[in-house]
Chains A and B, each alone.
Chain A
Amino acid sequence: MLEKLEWLDDPRVFRVGKLPAHSDHTMYRTTDEIKQKQSSFTKSLDGDWQFHFSENPSQRLIGFEKIDFNAEQFDHIAVPGHIELQGFGQIHYINTLYPWEGKIYRRPPYSLSHDKSYKGLFSEAADNTVGQYIKTFTLPNNFAQHDVHIQFDGVEKAMYLWLNGHFIGYSEDSFSQAEFDLTPYLQAGENKLAVEVYKYSTAAFIEDQDMFRFSGIFRSVRLLVMPQVNLVDLFLKPTVDKQLHTGNLSMSLSFDGKLTGTSAKIVVQSPSQNIVWQETVAISSHVTPSSAVIENVALWSHKHPNLYQLLITIFDANQNIIAVVPYSFGFRRLHKDSHNRVTLNNVPLRLNGVNRHEWSPTGGRTITMSDMTKDISIFKNNHINAVRTSHYPNQIPWYNLCDQNGIYMMAETNLESHGSWQKMGAVEPSYNVPGSIPEWQDVVLDRAKSNFEQFKNHPAILFWSLGNESYTGDNIAAMDAYFKSVDDSRLTHYEGVFQNRIDEDRISDVESRMYAHPKAIKDYLTNHPKKPYLNCEYMHSMGNSVGGLGDYMQLFDEFDSYLGGFIWDYIDQALYVTDKVTGQQVLRYGGDFNDRHSDYEFSGDGIVFANRQEKPAMQEVRYYYGRYDNE
């Protein structure tokens, strides 16, 4: 396989050599490792990498992936981390317009006609910065003779990967995990990884989220050794009967490796740590154990996030333990009735939520576990019970934290093409993507699949969101149909059909709007609504704001098909900078980095400041969200 730079220009190429998305479980060698939360099957590659920055593709170093390449001139960079926050490239904040606004004229390939592919659109561009990363690692002893994979949790926006000079794969989708098989070119002792990261590819047209625009390996990277038997995927389908008495867990497990004679013991423990079900099965590539029926099931909800613990122990033919896999899951019943009422465990669902970008004033979208646990504690203190992962899949631990703390999730797919259909506030979809353009369908379906496959087992997720502000069309409808085909336990969400109702009957289970006036919501809900209503964004918390929240909250009293919504948004996006005049650490926003065109302070819409200090408006949120917190 020969890698091609033209893939950057082609929306039909977004994964080459990338392994299929799968559930986000972790395999451990022993139960002790589970307790220590440290798997010997993984080796982190986070830390210092060698790095070379180029302003554009033509200036990149050719052949840097080869073993004999002399990398003495390379700089260093921290992984995970954004390139732009480590002294290379340009920090830039822009909202809806594309980041090349006023600098380079671009249209998405195939958007204006099927013969317009724009050769060299990104591969020969003057503005497409390139980060070349090298990491040399020594293969751990316990990895020898085994298959080895590599996982990238997040790379913006397009990456090529080589091992020991051999091309391994190509990946887009900045916010979903990319996993590759390194086995064919792995050698004993030292190995050389080379990663080439491009700031832009056609993915840039559908990753036009309202945020600072960064590039680089901004989430963790790790090696995974495949034990003799690898649990490739785990799909749990816990259901509850209408009376909320009996839980039923069906499971589907996919295995890979030398499976002959191996077996798996599957044990389910209740939240009070009693074993409530177990079964031992012979392992084959696809295993469907009998359903676990659990009486007097403890339900999962916001106030009572009861989690059951699944433990899969994998044995070889001699009954030696090969690996153990823990997974927490919950039983809850999400139901939409014919009157557009949505209930969770037969209680009306109330979303007292926030939209949340992953943000740190020092790391940008590279956030830490301590940032996440702080966010959860702020949520709990202020009765915030729901989060929309605006506008992309988040780091995996965030989903676990939401499971554990009863935070309802709207899990959003990494899709936003705002600049392709809205300009200076006006709807103008003349070159909208993905729209109904065939060349743009597979890429958005792949993003939906990555979102679903990775996070499907999390009880906290109540909604699959197709993405944000991308207008409408066949491709969005295909995403909706995909989620429906694989999951009947959750609702789909998409707001863009509000901009053009032509597709409203085939996209989104909910009527979702942004910043609708309470009176407009009342109008919708009193006039034979087709769907339950929710605010995917409301209460624009920019600066000194959040006046009039009570008008929205009162809609809960009037309408049982009103689901509440998600405040825009949780945290200001601003960056710490040392002020040249005072020497103090100060927070800076768009336009402060010579970044033009910019939307300046428009990224400061949090109910917490960028450093997670609560804004004064939080006491109003705490009051109303507490008052309307029902279960």
Chain B
Amino acid sequence: MDAMTMNELRVVYGDGTLGLHGNSFDYIFSYEKGGLESLVVNTAEWLYRVPKLTFWRATTDNDRGSHFSTQSAAWFGADMFITLKDINVKIDDKSLGLPTAPDNNRFSNEIFAKNVAITFSFLTATTPQTTVDVTYLVSQNGNITIKVNYTGTSGLPELPALGLSFIMPEVADGFQYTGLSGETYPDRQAGALTGTFDIVGLPLTPYLVPQEMGMHMATHSLTVKNAVSQPTHNHSTSINRLTFNQHTQPFAFSALPYTAIELESATHIEELPLPRRSVIAIYGAVRGVGGIDSWGTDVEPEYHISGETNHAFDFTIVPFQ
């Protein structure tokens, strides 16, 4: 029976990657870079680098005043640098460990599967270290459900954020999401309206000093438009869309042209580099922004993210609407 008519995934057991191919989608997971390296849908590439665990947020004025960033500075380093510890590939629920050569010599170019799970285990650059697992579950329709598991470890400072960021090759034309209006945080979302919102481009909030911005809490669905790189021969003007859907729980996200570290480094908005890429960060935990004062008072305790307890979140990437 022809696997393609069964719509199964074609699995390419590479020596440094795992390739998964389906009807109009092609995914490559890098064992070296520790994640999904290529996400191509209808020839358009959605990824610039592998998704990046995100622990830092650009310091807000209240963070600076309460010395939160100082107390949690370990996460700044952890956001920049991380160790890939382990990889495990599961094909149709059967664990294969890391199937590189010579183990993969037994395969061919015609291997198919109904579902594939690949887990990357990371060790954080903190003292003490802790483990964060990122698991990609790819089903034969191309949907990728991503689960992030953070292991709480005694002695770790509070987390500024916990998310997974997708750096996309170009600046998106815009995005549409179903969730809360405006820029929201756990302690600042009562006034938001629920609905579906269309945003043009990747707007910045022009805070006097660039800082954490653009968060959208309690999101059910996010669709990013045209943040892709196309092969040079492609002259299609059709709009490419990639959707992030809620899996077990709503998620938070921001869609900006900069990483937290880039924002952190600027003292004025005009010091930020020219927008060049999209940084779509999906968050499982968001710290509140606070607001009582900006010179010492911390965010209310219920809006902190403990580094000492476990955190898990998930969401699904849907390549086709």
Chain A interface (Cβ < 8 Å from any Cβ of B) = 425, 515, 517, 538-551, 572, 574, 579, 581-582, 584, 586-589, 592, 601-602, 604-605, 609-610, 613, 615-617, 619-624
Contact = CB atoms under 8 A, between A and B. Distances in A.
B291 interface: yes
Contacts of B187: 547-548
Contacts of B295: 425
Q: Which of A547, A584, A586 has the most CB of B within 10 A?
A: A547
14 contacts: A515-B297, A517-B292, A542-B294, A543-B60, A544-B211, A547-B299, A549-B190, A584-B270, A592-B268, A604-B207, A619-B181, A619-B192, A620-B191, A622-B191
Contacts of A624: 190-191
A624 B187 CA distance: 13
B275 interface: no
Contacts of A546: 188, 289, 291
A106 B256 CA distance: 49
Contacts of A586: 268-270
A85 B273 CA distance: 29
B38 to A, nearest CB: 34
A543 B208 contact: yes
B206 A613 contact: yes
A543 B207 contact: yes
Nearest to B295: A425
A357 to B, nearest CB: 15
B300 A601 contact: no
Interface in B211-239: 211-213
Interface string B283-321: 000001111111101011001000000000000000000
Interface string B170-192: 00000000000111111111111
Contacts of A544: 60-62, 183, 185, 205, 207, 211-213, 289
A551 B270 contact: no
A623 B60 contact: no
B209 interface: yes
A608 B211 CA distance: 16
A604 B270 contact: no
Interface of B: 60-62, 65, 181-192, 205-209, 211-213, 268-270, 288-295, 297, 299-300, 303
B270 A581 contact: yes
Nearest to B294: A542
Contacts of A602: 294
Nearest to B58: A544
A605 B294 contact: yes
B269 A617 contact: no
B226 to A, nearest CB: 25
Contacts of B184: 616
A581 B300 CA distance: 41
Q: Which of A425, A550, A584 has the most CB of B within 10 A?
A: A550
A515 B303 contact: no
A539 B62 CA distance: 11
Given A581-B270, A616-B205, 4 more contacts: A543-B209, A547-B187, A547-B291, A604-B61
Contacts of B191: 619-624
Contacts of A610: 208
Contacts of B181: 619
A310 to B, nearest CB: 41
A545 B60 contact: yes
Nearest to B181: A619
A254 B207 CA distance: 51
A616 B182 contact: yes
A495 B18 CA distance: 67
Contacts of A540: 62, 291-294
A548 B208 contact: no
B57 to A, nearest CB: 10
A605 B205 CA distance: 14
B290 A547 contact: yes
Contacts of B288: 547-548
A617 B183 CA distance: 7
A539 B191 CA distance: 16
A295 to B, nearest CB: 42
Contact of B205 (A538, A582, A588, A615): A615
Nearest to A579: B270
Q: Which of B207, B209, B291 has the most CB of A within 10 A?
A: B291
A56 B185 CA distance: 50
Contacts of B213: 544
A341 B191 CA distance: 28
A601 B61 contact: yes
A515 to B, nearest CB: 4
A273 to B, nearest CB: 39
Nearest to B191: A623
Contact of A548 (B182, B270, B300): B300
Contacts of A588: 268
Contacts of B292: 515, 517, 538-540, 548
B259 to A, nearest CB: 17
Contacts of B183: 544, 616-617
A381 to B, nearest CB: 13
Contacts of A550: 190
A512 to B, nearest CB: 16
A584 B269 CA distance: 11
A604 B268 CA distance: 12
A547 B301 CA distance: 12
A216 to B, nearest CB: 25
Contacts of B62: 540, 542-545, 547
A547 B294 contact: no
Contacts of B192: 619-620, 623
A551 B270 CA distance: 36
Contacts of A592: 268
A613 B293 CA distance: 22
A602 B64 CA distance: 12
Contacts of A543: 60-62, 207-209, 211, 294
Nearest to B290: A547
Contacts of A617: 183, 188, 291
B86 to A, nearest CB: 37
A619 B290 contact: no
B188 A547 contact: yes
B257 to A, nearest CB: 16
A589 B65 CA distance: 18
Contacts of A548: 187-188, 288, 290-292, 299-300, 303
Given A549-B188, A601-B61, A587 B206 contact: yes
A363 to B, nearest CB: 18
Give the 3 A-B CB pairs with smallest separation, nearest first: A623-B191, A547-B187, A616-B183
A574 B291 contact: no
B291 A601 contact: no
Contacts of A621: 191
B258 to A, nearest CB: 15
Q: Which of B190, B191, B209 has the most CB of A within 10 A?
A: B191
Contacts of A541: 291
Contacts of B206: 587, 609, 613
Q: Which of B189, B212, B269, B294 has the most CB of A within 10 A?
A: B294
A539 B291 contact: yes
Contacts of B289: 544-547
Nearest to B270: A586
B63 to A, nearest CB: 9
Contacts of B212: 544
A605 B299 CA distance: 17
Q: Which of A543, A544, A588, A622 has the most CB of B within 10 A?
A: A544
Contact of A582 (B209, B270, B297): B270
A56 B295 CA distance: 36
Contacts of B65: 542
Contacts of A622: 191
A623 B193 CA distance: 10
